[in-house]
Every structure is written in structure tokens, then in C-alpha cells.
Amino acid sequence: MRVMLIGFGLAMTLAACVGSADFGAPSAAKDYADYCAGCHGKGGDPGPIAKELKLHPVSLADLTMMNDGNFPEARVMSKIVGYKSHGEMVGAVPGQMPPFEVLTEGPTVLYDSGDGIPTPTPVRLVRLMEYIKGLQQ
């Protein structure tokens, strides 16, 4: 058990180092602007593409308010990580969510979205989720 805890501690230390390191990737703000803001807006109002979509995207700045004051971290991460299934949402046209494959490239960190299970997750996806969390009004 002690060895397992030490190993977990080392993994978390490494994850923290990788998470804060600049590995040549754009910032989370740039990733949000490139992949999210066109539809979800920049903090309240929908983005310019939203009116063209059959299924209207929610404002990502209102997620905490829409969830009784709790930011739905696990659900947000599952939407970001599970990008391939977004086109299957009721009312959506397949392919309306942008392909996030480029956000999966680069280093990973152990990330726990609240379920108690640290999972290797690409740093850019974690940074994007944290950025969305910071947009909450």
C-alpha cells in the first residue's frame, strides 16, 4: 500500500510539472476561441455560428448556474473527451462539434473529474475544461 501511495504521489508530481510546462501548445484561451467560442460564445451571448445550427449550443459561462451552483466538471470533461459522439445528440447534425483530435496530442496528466479515478488525460483537454470552469458567472 505504501509503495502504491508513493507511486501515486510521484505520478501526481509529474502531472503537475507537465501540466504547468509550456510544451509549445496554444493557451487554453486560444483553444477556447478556436474550438468553442464560435458556437458557445465568449461569456453569455451565443457565438456567431450558433444561429446557423439546428441545435442551439448553451453558453458555457452559465453551466454552474444551470446546475444549481455546481460546476458539472465530469460532464464537461466527458463532452470534451467524447467529442466523436456529439454529432449523435438529439437534434444535432453529425459533425457540428469540431474535431478535437489536435487537443489530444502532447503530454497527458492524471486527471480526476470527481469520480475518484485519476485517468491519463491530454493536458490541453484539462486546460480547456479549467478555462471553461473559469468562465462561470
Domain positions in the chain? 2-134
**15: pLDDT strictly greater than 50:** no
Measured CA to CA, the distance from residue 59 to residue 69 in angstroms comes to: 15
The residue with greater pLDDT, 8 or 65, is 65
pLDDT of residue 81: 72
pLDDT of residue 110: 95
| Angle between the N-to-C axes of helices 73-81 and 123-134, in degrees from 0 to 180, rounded to the nearest 10 | 140
**Of 28, 27, 49, 26, nearest in space to 37 by CA:** 49
Collect all residues with Cβ–Cβ distance below 8 Å to 105 and sequence separation of at least 6: 122, 124
Q: List pLDDT tens digits, range 35-83.
A: 899 989 887 788 888 888 877 788 888 899 999 999 998 888 877 776 5
